Amino acid sequence: MIYVIAQLKLKPGTTERACAEARKVVAGTVKEAGCLFYDFNLSVTDPTRLVAVERWESKEALARHNETAHLLAWRAVVAEVAVERDIQVIMPESVERK
């Protein structure tokens, strides 16, 4: 099983747009084969911190997800609204930071 924790620091004034776009990527992702859990949470103490929590059956499922149209669209939005990102991919054998 693969876990992904992705944290975004949003530009001021972009939280509403980021959350609306996050809902779109969630709607597409939860339908994917191999997706066990995928959701975003907005920090209750910092309205510019958006956190994604993901759980995947396998590396292959995550790799397929990374090529989907809805994730590529989300990445384009992130490029516009985020000032910083931290992604951890947690696998049984290692933790990768991207």
Q: What pTM, to 2 d.p., does this model score? A: 0.90
Taking CB atoms within 8 Å and a gap of at least 24, the contacts of 41-47 are 42/15, 47/15
Of 93, 13, 84, nearest to 47 by C-alpha is 13
Residue 92 clears pLDDT 90, i.e. is over it: no
CA angle 47, 90, 16 (to 5 degrees): 20
pLDDT tens track for 29-78? 999 999 999 999 999 999 999 999 999 999 999 999 999 999 999 999 99
Domains of the chain: 2-93 (3.30.70.100)
14-18, 51-55, 93-97: least confidently modelled range: 93-97
